[in-house]
Amino acid sequence: METLYIPVTVIVLLAAIVWYRLRVRSRFRRQTIRVRPSPVMDESTAHAYLSLVRALPDHLVFPSVSYSAFLRPHGDKARQTDGDVDALLHAHVIDFLICRPTTEAVAAVRLQGQDASATEAEALLREAAIPVLRYDPKRPMDEMELAETVRDLESLSTVRLEDVPGIATTPAPKDGDRRARRRATAARDRQEPRL
């Protein structure tokens, strides 16, 4: 009788192992999600993308870009350890981002009617000094006008304050430095035209 305990114990353990493995496999089968490929863009967005690429051959055009890909927090907000700022940047997506070949952002393109929460998102772009171009996806883009607009935006971004007449670029003096304040005032008075 004692000789039967060992084979029965082995059979029970093997049955328990087989039962456990089948149970684990059935759990994984239930968690598997069936997927199929779908188009990356709808027809009007794809048409707008192709128009942007044709109009701007010397630029990179990225579709559906998260703000976190091209914006970084700075100042007091960057020091926050919680992920509020990162979550805010991840939550917003621009329809198209136009970049120089060096991947510096030139402009963002928003198709009208695509995003209802655009005001907060566009405030972030304004703060980063990235202009937003709005286009109606139902109307065809004028590629010549688009190329000219981007060229104008690039020329505006390369203007330095030193090159603009009448703008003093000397740093602002500290509150306690009276002599520096007087010198800065005198320099400003010399540069401003008097009528």
Decide the pairing of beta strands 60-66 and 93-99.
antiparallel
Question: Are the C-beta atoms of 54 and 77 separated by less than 8 Å?
Answer: no
Q: Which of 131, 144, 137, 136 is nearest to 55 (CA)?
A: 144
Q: Which of 44, 127, 49 is nearest to 85 (CA)?
A: 127
Question: Are the C-beta atoms of 48 and 137 separated by less than 8 Å?
Answer: yes
In a domain, 175, yes or no: no
**Whole domain around residue 59: which residue ranges?**
43-157
In a domain, 152, yes or no: yes
In a domain, 167, yes or no: no
In a domain, 113, yes or no: yes
Please give the Cα distance from 144 to 20 (Å, whole number): 67
In a domain, 57, yes or no: yes
Question: Are the C-beta atoms of 99 and 60 separated by less than 8 Å?
Answer: yes
Q: How many domains does the structure of the chain reveal?
A: 1
Beta strand extents in the chain (DSSP E only): 60-66, 93-99, 105-111, 132-135
Please give the Cα distance from 191 to 169 (Å, whole number): 11
In a domain, 13, yes or no: no
* DSSP SS3 for 56: coil
Please give the Cα distance from 28 to 31 (Å, whole number): 5
In a domain, 24, yes or no: no
Q: Which of 133, 131, 132 is nearest to 157 (CA)?
A: 131
Structure tokens at 133: 């171009």
pLDDT along the chain (195 residues), means of 10: 76 87 69 80 88 92 90 67 70 90 90 67 84 85 87 74 50 55 56 35
In a domain, 194, yes or no: no
